[in-house]
Structure 1
Amino acid sequence: MLIQQIFTEKIAHSSYILAGDKTCAIIDPRRDINIYLEITRELGVKITHILETHLHADFISGHIDLAKRTGAPIYAPGKANCDFEHTALSEGDSVDIEDIRLNIIETPGHTPEHISYVVTDTSRGKKPIAVFCGDTMFVGDVGRPDLFPGKAEQLASKLYDTLNGKLLNLPEFCEIYPAHGAGSLCGRAMASKRSSTMGYERKYNYALLIDDRKEFIESLTNNMPSAPDHFSRCTEINRKGPELLKELHIPEALNNATFKNKMKDAIVLDVRSFESFGGQHIPDSYNIDINSNFPTYAGWLLSPDKNILLVSENYSQAFDACQQLHRVGLDKVEGYLEEGLYGWVTEGFAAKHVPQISAPELNDRVHKGRKTTIVDVREASEYEDYHIEGAVNIPVHELRGRYNELDPEAETVLICGSGQRSGMGCSLLLQHGFQKVMNAAGGMRGYAAAGFGQECPMCVLPWAPFKNK
């Protein structure tokens, strides 16, 4: 038996190849499936099973594409009521792959329909060796139960029963393979390690150490991170079965005149760095830095119903952005600006800019009496850890509706962890007529490094969901 994990950065998603000698299963596949075809070809095994643990909220699954390419059947939770052809699984069912037996247990809590696959290598023993637990349990955390409006407490109670009545009954040596790692918003406090054992989690996972049901429910239904807009969309797309990638429109290389003409009915998305966007950008465009948690914020901020026009440094960056947009169900990528911003401005088309101010410049504004509105666009939990005195906290995704709490005539400086989220925020305010918008380049990380404040704990972690964003 071989288990190979495929970790997809930014959405922090783990999918798996579970292989025998000649055949294998793909568990919780991502949408762009070529990686599974390449690895299984190298391993010399045939994909014969496609297994889903639940209806994923944060990304579009590759089950339909993979089934079309390989002919392998899809297995999914019966309670998901999926519209596509599949084998519906429920408690007590099993799936065999050569000497590998997967027993299905229903593990609701993160979602109502969730199942887990308990793996036994029958060639070696009778006890479970591993569990593919989807988003029920993570390394250092458990799945958040608050993604369904009005059902958070009910699902948290079910999660308590799932963990204590089922998963924690597995042997201590049983390996845990979750569908996400640190950086995902499907949980709150995932560790950076990407797999674990039941015994270790039983001893050190904070959520599993909460014995009281009421305390457990309160812990998992209060002070949770915000849930991006695309979470509910992706769930339904995965239930119905997403459109095949090969049937999507191939983004065109557009000259300046054609690009401008198409802008009337489309979103212009500038994926360059926040510094580049600050230098020159197309008026009313969004800036979501490709180096940030790009797919999450794109799914959060952009409408899935509008065409998207990309501004990038080059074709390669545009292709990368397109692939990441498809992962979160933003499929209407119409084209990209062929000659980039250099070609745009050298042909005389209009552009705007956002001043980028350094930590010392910001500190001067804070302490020398210059009338400046500072907007901290980090999450509330980050803001509470430490913030500049007098800064207003409006998380970047909330600026879409709360921009009217700010004075569009005032000098306004946006700050986040490093400049990426605040760059997004600047692009949002500019769309609403703000004229004196500046970005604090370096963010709270730079502000602390210059000796003006405390270090932001989340900004410096290499795997954090908001690191460098």
Structure 2
Amino acid sequence: MNIKQLYTNCLAQGAYYISNNGEAAIVDPLRETKPYLDLLKQNGDTLKYIFETHFHADFVSGHVDLAKETGATIVFGPNAQTEYKSHIAADGEEFKIGNLTLKVMHTPGHTLESSTYLLQNETKKPLCIFTGDTLFIGDVGRPDLAIKSELTQEDLAGMLYDSLRNKIMPLPDDVIVYPAHGAGSACGKNMSKETFDTLGSQKQLNYALRDISKAEFITELTTGILPAPQYFTKNAALNKNGYQNYSEILKKGSNALSVEDFETAMKTPNVIVLDVRKPQEFANGHIPNSLFIGLDGQFAPWVGTVILDINAPILLITPEGREEETVMRLSRVGYDNCIGYLKGGMSNWKNASKKIEQIKSIPAEEFITHYKTGHKTLDVRKPGEFESAHLKNAVTKPLDFIYDWVDVVDKSHPYMIHCAGGYRSMIAASILKAKGFTNLTDVQGGYGAISKLEASQKEIETLACTKSL
């Protein structure tokens, strides 16, 4: 028996490879199929099933392409409907993988079709559960993402309460919980950085498994949920209805363009020039009106949050050798219309004497000097981060909701911008700059660097009221 967790940090996502006696199953695969095909080849296994715990909203699954490439059957739980060939399992239905059995447990609540898969050995002893977004380590899935449901989030939260207590909690304490996500995902509120645990441990540590009433559970689960990123509904629809072949997307996006051809492609209607280098590289020189979202961060989720048009043509500025990686990571959240990248990157652009713009970026020490003289400071961290601790005179303007506030902020003022570490602030600065803000200063190292300065300690508040411009 082989159970392998394939965890992708930038998406905080776990896929699973299960094999026994030459047969294999994969749970919740990512978009690119090569890692799974490689595993099958290495282990000499035949892929029999692809199990989906639900229609994922935060990434595009690889189930459709993987089924075409292997002949495996795609399996969803009850209530799912797809536009492609799949098997919609009944609650309690069992599937054989060698001598192992995978049993479907319908656990609605996160979504109506959400299902947990219980893996049993040859004697039917429960070994582990693949819970998708029903049960995380330290948390449970948010109840506001069901596709075209007339049910309220309170209705779904009530369903989740019943699913947890009637289907999952009666299982033995030594059963291992394998969720679809960990800390960093927007699919829950309080996920642990741990990526698996025993059910017994979760019964003790997870707030959602406490001995509380359904009414108390519903109130706790539905309080403090931030709005879902705009790409969630689009990804869920792709997972339900199907999508373009990944190999074709990769081929189209891995198109090396000369400076001249890149300039011509920039005239494409609605095109986005996406620069994925490091924040300071972008600050030191970038193509006018380009958008920064660095690969070395939570790239795909921020792409899905700040690029509103999922079908927009995208031109790339990448570090050398990371072109295909960028196309792949865009496709994980359904941004499949990459039309090429600048061959030779910014070096070629500069050598061709093309126009370059910069964003002022200063260290924390210099920032605190300006801050004390009254410069307006935008804190683009999440609301919870701001409430935990922030500078007294900083204004909370979360990057997550930048399009809600960017058009009401006075462009005539100079602004200093910081996040936690310098990644999100550069994303925000690139958007503001493209929107016509002309006097922006990014803070290197963000709040993390600022808070370490002795000179800033008297300027920090916790749990304070937010301010407005």
Task: Pick the TM interval, shorter chain.
Answer: over 0.9
2:264 to 246, 261, 264: 261
Question: Are positions 1:446 and 2:449 aligned together?
Answer: yes
What is the TM-score with the length of structure 1 in the denominator?
A: 0.93
The answer as to whether partners of 2:314 and 2:340 remain within 8 angstroms in 1 is yes
1:404 is paired with a residue of what secondary structure? coil
1:386 to 386, 389, 392: 389
Q: Aligned residues: percent identity?
A: 34
2:441 is paired with a residue of what secondary structure? strand
Gaps of 5+ in 2: 461-469
2:412 is paired with a residue of what secondary structure? coil
For 1:397 and 1:120, the matched residues in 2 are separated by 41
Question: Are positions 1:423 and 2:430 aligned together?
Answer: no
Question: Are positions 1:140 and 2:138 aligned together?
Answer: yes
C-alpha distance after superposition, 1:326-375 (max 9, x if no partner): 000000011111121122122121111001011111111121x24x2211
1:128 to 126, 129, 139: 126
- C-alpha change, 1:455 and 1:409, in structure 2 (3 Å) is closer
Pairwise CA RMSD of aligned residues?
Answer: 1.7
C-alpha distance after superposition, 1:247-293 (max 9, x if no partner): 32243111112111211221000101110111011111110011110
The within-5 A match list for 1:13-412 is 13-122=13-122, 125-148=123-146, 151-248=152-249, 249-264=252-267, 265=269, 266-302=271-307, 303-314=309-320, 316-367=321-372, 369-370=373-374, 372-412=375-415
For 2:114 and 2:338, the matched residues in 1 are separated by 32
Q: In the alignment, which residue of structure 2 is the partner of 1:464? A: none
C-alpha distance after superposition, 1:108-136 (max 9, x if no partner): 111111111112112xx333221111110
The answer as to whether partners of 1:94 and 1:101 remain within 8 angstroms in 2 is yes
- C-alpha change, 1:455 and 1:49, in structure 2 (3 Å) is farther
Runs of 4+ in 1 over 3 A off after TM superposition: 453-456
- C-alpha change, 1:31 and 1:347, in structure 2 (3 Å) is same
Gaps of 5+ in 1: 457-469
C-alpha distance after superposition, 1:5-27 (max 9, x if no partner): 11112101111111111111111
The answer as to whether partners of 2:103 and 2:118 remain within 8 angstroms in 1 is yes
For 1:356 and 1:103, the matched residues in 2 are separated by 55
For 1:257 and 1:210, the matched residues in 2 are separated by 65
Deviation at 1:226, TM superposition (A): 4.1
For 1:283 and 1:126, the matched residues in 2 are separated by 62
For 2:459 and 2:200, the matched residues in 1 are separated by 34
What is the TM-score with the length of structure 2 in the denominator?
A: 0.93
The answer as to whether partners of 2:77 and 2:104 remain within 8 angstroms in 1 is no
1:325 is paired with a residue of what secondary structure? helix
For 1:385 and 1:226, the matched residues in 2 are separated by 19
- C-alpha change, 1:395 and 1:169, in structure 2 (3 Å) is same
For 1:336 and 1:454, the matched residues in 2 are separated by 47
- C-alpha change, 1:454 and 1:398, in structure 2 (3 Å) is farther
For 1:378 and 1:200, the matched residues in 2 are separated by 32
1:58 is paired with a residue of what secondary structure? coil
1:169 is paired with a residue of what secondary structure? coil
